[in-house]
Amino acid sequence: MSKPKSFLSIIKPSSFRTLLQASASSASPASNAPADNAQETANDRQTVPIDATWFMPNSPRNALEEYQNERIPHARFFDLDKCSRDSPYPHMLPTQQIMAKTIEQLGKGHIKPLDNLVVYDKVGNFSSPRVAFTLKLFGYDRVYLLDNYLNYKNYDYPLDLNLIKTELIESETNVENKQSQNQTKVHAQAETQEQDIDDKHLPLTAEEFEERYDREVIEYEELVNLIEEDHIHEYLVLDARSPDRFSGSAPEPRPGLSSGHIPTAKNLPFTKFLDQEQNNQYKSRDELESIVKEAVGVEQLDEIATKYPKGIIVMCGTGVTACVLKLGLENVLKLQNVNVRLYDGSWTEWAMRAPEELIVKDV
- So which residues are the catalytic ones? 316
- The closest of 147, 106, 157, 156 to 126, measured between CA atoms, is 147
- φ/ψ of 77, rounded to 5, equals -95, 120
Residue 264 Cα distances to 246, 313, 361, angstroms: 12, 11, 12
Q: Are 257 and 289 in contact (CB under 8 A)?
A: no
Strand extents, DSSP E, 160-231: 217-218
Distance between CA atoms of residues 239 and 32, nearest Å = 42
CB 19 within 8 A of CB 157: no
| Rg of the chain on CA atoms, in Å | 20
In terms of Cα–Cα distance, which of 38, 39, 18, 17 is closest to 28? Answer: 39
Residue 160 DSSP one-character state: B
**Cα–Cα distance for residue pair 311/86, rounded to 1 Å:** 29
> Is residue 142 within 8 Å of residue 116, measured between CB atoms?
yes
- Report the candidate in 160, 151, 165 with the shortest Cα–Cα distance to residue 278: 151
| Cβ-count burial 100-118 (b if 16+ within 10 Å, e if not) | bbbbbbbbeeebbbbbbbb
- Gap between the Cα atoms of 19 and 98, Å rounded: 29
The SS3 assignment for 236 reads strand
> Max Cα separation, the chain?
64
The answer to whether 242 and 250 have CB atoms below 8 angstroms apart is yes
**269: phi then psi, degrees, rounded to nearest 5:** -55, 135
**10 Å Cβ neighbour count for 63?**
22
Cα–Cα distance measured from residue 253 to residue 347, given in angstroms and rounded to the nearest whole number: 12
